[in-house]
Structure 1
């Protein structure tokens, strides 16, 4: 799960923080005061036998932010490049993190859950804009908008109006064991035992973004209903086993269960930590008592290690396939999942662009448009993202840390991600983006990646010129820019440059200058279409166009 990234532990964490800016030559001595009952002191880290510069940088960051344990991996489209592990998996037993240490991966799980559902989508078993009620076997409606259907696409983009309040939060915070037994129908239909109108937001489905763990629980339930398999068993059979991942949504199925990391929260002094989750004390986890998807937490219950998560992200980077013989998704399905489906401003700006349960962000590493997901729950914090341009990806998982200064990522996340990309990213090629578009098509290609549109490609011929007009959301996806919209006006941002366009106005404002357009942006099928070539030129983005008028209809 991802909580409010401003952090409910922010205020107490600000007291007593000590920053150590360089790795000492001998282990740092932790505060030896007696910890509060139920807490453990964070001891000095064990240094690698021959620490590299990267080891030293990561250990310095860990000391600065009081990270309990860290596992990280770096990969490209062909192989795992590097992996490292540091710190403590279990403070009570002094068990250290190693390359096989398994973490409860929090909201990184959502990428797996979405992939499971999209495997069924590409088999033709549902449409993204279908009413989910047809597949669950009972009707789900926001009681304030009873005539508006709730769709698969809305669940995967957190726009369904099913929110993390009402029944789900009440049960999770009060009697979480009930999720092992409850039928999700009892939370969603008016005559259900646990129904609460507060489960639904005060807005129509499809009109607003609200990050919803419960919504992803419903995605897991849909996987069960459509496939006929329990959610955890489906993911094992069709994702984990084909990719040779040591992973499961059922911790008792983890062969290496003794190496599951305990999750921790810090006290106010940041010198000691209390266990919050996966503290099995040498006893094998007990299997869930229910086969229902909620019992396995599709939103956050994945257990896996960093190198296996790298395998999964590598598959998505490669259009659904790894090692030329293992395919879990068709290329078009993978591209669809990574295409920008929603944009806006949510969770204090943490979410600005979203695919189908894949996060699209410019904020983790400066100058990098990354695709993937973050996670935070019970003390776990971590990130799994890749750069579609450089074909480099990173995964890192921490089982406890000082989570402060969210802007919008926590400072420790920015520091680790920047270190890994700085160390391993290839030199920027500065090659222009290659865009291919055909009038009337449902997609364009950008550097061989398909971006799918909800309104057809529009190529307008004016004299000898061909003007490519795309929906604003597709233009932002194509050019890797930020995007804001107010009514019929959109603003695209990249680095320090801004370009603002308005429907019906044959000019745009670029960094306070007004530039003419050959034709004004216009509304079609509810989408604001903007001129991509002119926009790219104004923002100094290098583009090579290949446009086809086949199927062209004059605008």
Structure 2
């Protein structure tokens, strides 16, 4: 097979021709033999065998197979959707290297942190029913007090769990149990991990930051969210999701593999050796035997053993149904799983900053808001990585277009902030299927004193009400900085009382109390200075948009 390092030294066109020819030759060999254990591989490892080229291969097939060859992807499943329809799906490579089972669009994967979108949706369905408030203390619903011992008087809320700002982290007992005795998660009462003096309690479960002040990605927090689903609904977490999410959306998916109809088509997950030649099974290697149901003996309200943070199995096609429901205001195929306002609330920017080495810069309620996966596109969704799997599910809300793809083993390197393989697959799918990025101006409708604005028919929920001030003959709309960034689709960063908004190549900085905005180093006078209110910095939106050359239509 042609080496990638050799190709990098050739002109791009010639390299592409050689790589395409190599793939065809390699595919022909695969059609003759199929995968077998590599006689030279270490015990327990399998060689990555040649891919099978589809009989009537398209340019897209060849592009994706070239990416697979470059990053040593074991298997890839992908689905593309627009509006209310799936427009394409495909599967390549191997679901099981030991048997030669291939990946199809219906192959199921353990999707890691994509699961958190389902967990958040389950919890927000109960929010729809008025069962709790986002800023309620979670201890009230768990039945015991939960607090950071460094800040005992500050409550921990549902909103904080869903934005990873609760100060509950994985570095305490949770990580120790996952690494040393994961079966214990099926037995343990999470109360024993969260209350002082209990058997598994440790102060290391809580960060040094006060609840609500700092981002800290937390799988344990997602497990607590799933436990709250159990406490509030009175049902085991996996059964709740099956009844109220998977069955209504006609998804053959679940947190319990034994209950999945198509269990024989669950992909094995793999990690490569250092040479990216041989792959070791890490998860879901059932050897054609139906998985045994997990024996969960933990009391209701302790859902860690059902893996709300990462244990969902789904195909890319079925997960695309779930994503379409979110993209289309809580509805898929005339079936509603969320109120439209609740879906918009989940997708509204709730936090901004810098987390996980820059992967997280903006966040909704467990929905990731990113500008980094596909150049020039603001996308909403989530990524996942565990046991060798890499997966992404995102949509462009302006163009009603989205993608889901799942990889069960690959060279996961060069993160900036996504792995290079993720950027390559996502860009290829967008380049092939996505409509041209919309340049239509954001139409912002707002009223003074309201906590909701509308931007191109999408509602954005504000942390404090909008303010309309008069400066001479002009009316100035002041919004919380986080909501302004959401409405204008800008990047946002904060240093003290100074905010910097980024749009394409333009940066604009504003400071509380200063009647000037600095745009790429040049100061422009503002009719009124930004100011603080109830912990938020309010900024003049129309003036910010003009400074960033964003053509905005404002209706007050």
The question of 1:314 aligning with 2:311 is answered no
Contact kept, 8 Å, 1:18 with 1:64, in 2: the verdict is no
CA distance in 2, matches of 1:256, 1:163: 35
Instruction: Describe how 1:59-78 pairs up with structure 2 within 5 A.
Output: 59-78=65-84
* Partner residue, 2:450: 441
- CA deviation digits over 1:279-306, x for unaligned, max 9? 0111111111116411111000000000
CA distance in 2, matches of 1:478, 1:423: 28
Contact kept, 8 Å, 1:103 with 1:261, in 2: the verdict is yes
User: Equivalent of 2:125, from 119, 122, 125?
Assistant: 119
* Distance change (3 Å), C-alpha of 1:393 and 1:133: same
- CA deviation digits over 1:441-494, x for unaligned, max 9? 011000010000111011112232111111110000000010000111000001
User: Equivalent of 1:185, from 191, 207, 215?
Assistant: 191
The question of 1:492 aligning with 2:501 is answered yes
CA distance in 2, matches of 1:136, 1:287: 26
* Partner residue, 2:92: 86
Instruction: Describe how 1:489-528 pairs up with structure 2 within 5 A.
Output: 489-528=498-537
User: Equivalent of 1:257, from 255, 263, 273?
Assistant: 263
Contact kept, 8 Å, 1:106 with 1:300, in 2: the verdict is yes
Contact kept, 8 Å, 1:136 with 1:222, in 2: the verdict is yes
CA distance in 2, matches of 1:85, 1:18: 25
CA distance in 2, matches of 1:101, 1:296: 21
SS in structure 2 at match of 1:514: strand
* Partner residue, 1:427: 436
Q: After TM superposition, which residue ranges in structure 1, 4 or more long, deviate above 6 angstroms?
A: 15-20, 28-33
1:122, distance to aligned residue in structure 2 (A):
1.3
Superposition RMSD in Å:
1.7
SS in structure 1 at match of 2:261: coil
CA distance in 1, matches of 2:168, 2:321: 31
* Partner residue, 2:107: 101
CA distance in 2, matches of 1:470, 1:187: 40
* Partner residue, 1:4: none
The question of 1:162 aligning with 2:161 is answered no
1:495, distance to aligned residue in structure 2 (A):
1.4
CA distance in 2, matches of 1:427, 1:230: 44
CA distance in 2, matches of 1:531, 1:369: 22
* TM-score, length of structure 1 as denominator length: 0.94
SS in structure 2 at match of 1:26: helix
Contact kept, 8 Å, 2:79 with 2:105, in 1: the verdict is no
1:33, distance to aligned residue in structure 2 (A):
7.0
CA distance in 1, matches of 2:508, 2:319: 37
* Partner residue, 1:8: none
Unaligned ranges ≥5, structure 1: 1-14, 548-555
* Partner residue, 1:26: 25
* Partner residue, 1:296: 306
The answer to which structure, 1 or 2, has the higher relative contact order (CA under 8 A, 6+ apart) is 1
Contact kept, 8 Å, 1:248 with 1:254, in 2: the verdict is yes
* Partner residue, 2:408: 399
Aligned length: 533
Contact kept, 8 Å, 1:16 with 1:270, in 2: the verdict is no
Of 423-432 and 309-318, deviating more is: 423-432
* Partner residue, 1:136: 142
Structure with greater proportional helix content: 2
1:259, distance to aligned residue in structure 2 (A):
0.6
1:16, distance to aligned residue in structure 2 (A):
8.8
CA distance in 2, matches of 1:210, 1:98: 36
1:191, distance to aligned residue in structure 2 (A):
2.5
1:236, distance to aligned residue in structure 2 (A):
0.5
1:506, distance to aligned residue in structure 2 (A):
0.6
1:17, distance to aligned residue in structure 2 (A):
10
1:18, distance to aligned residue in structure 2 (A):
8.2
Contact kept, 8 Å, 1:224 with 1:293, in 2: the verdict is yes
CA distance in 1, matches of 2:478, 2:116: 33
